[in-house]
Every structure is written in C-alpha cells, then in structure tokens.
C-alpha cells in the first residue's frame, strides 16, 4: 500500500500531466478551428449570431391591466401598483 506522501507525489504528477494534456488539446482545437474559419471564410457574426426566436431581452410588454379611474396601466410584471394591490385583478384586465 502506498504512503500518504507517495500518493500526494502521484497526485502532483497527475495534475501536471492533466494540465499539459489540456494545453495540448486546446492548441489542437484552436488550430482546427482556425483552419475551418479560413477554409470557409467565416466571420465572428457567422460563429456567434443569435438564433431566430432567441430571447431579445429589453423589449416592451403590452399592458395587461388598466385602472379605470386614471387610465394608468400595468403589465403584470414586477411590483404591483397601489391601485391594484390586494384587489381582484380580473376586474382590471384589458
């Protein structure tokens, strides 16, 4: 059976081999990627473009509720305004 110190030495050696393997495989992957990019004349937008239907974020949301007294609206997202807090929301649906 191996001693604690021998096991630690083995672990250090394995960690070193793992780091070397990662560096080697990354370099191979980068070289292959560069070859394909050059071969097909790809640009960054070709590689990292958003798919259609992807969430755009920051878009406006149509209001879902309206205060009949003031005409103020609320989308139903975030903190509820005072005029609808604690009330039946179905009465304010647009």
Do 10 and 40 fall into the same domain? yes
- pLDDT single digits (tens) 40-93: 999 988 888 776 655 666 678 899 999 999 999 999 998 999 999 989 999 899
Instruction: Note whether residue 55 is domain-resident.
Output: no
Tell whether the torsion through CA atoms of 51, 56, 57 and 60 is positive or negative. Answer: negative
What does the angle CA 65 – CA 52 – CA 30 come to, to the nearest 5 degrees? 135
Domain count, the chain: 2
pTM for this prediction: 0.46
Q: Which of 84, 53, 54, 80 is nearest to 68 (CA)?
A: 84
In a domain, 37, yes or no: yes
DSSP letter at 70?
T
Q: Are residues 11 and 41 in the same domain?
A: yes
**Cβ(87)–Cβ(74) below 8 Å:** no
For the stretch 4-25, pLDDT in tens is: 999 999 999 999 999 999 999 9
Domain region containing 94 = 60-94
């Amino acid at each position: 059976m191996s001693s604690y110190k021998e096991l630690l030495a083995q672990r250090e050696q394995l960690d070193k081999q793992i780091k070397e393997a990662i560096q080697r495989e990354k370099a191979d992957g980068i070289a292959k990627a560069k070859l394909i990019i050059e071969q097909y004349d790809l640009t960054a937008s070709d590689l990292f473009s958003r798919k259609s239907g992807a969430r755009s974020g920051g878009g406006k949301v149509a209001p879902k509720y309206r205060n009949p007294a003031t005409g103020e609206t609320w989308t139903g997202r975030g903190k509820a305004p005072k005029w609808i807090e604690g009330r039946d929301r179905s009465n304010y649906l647009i």
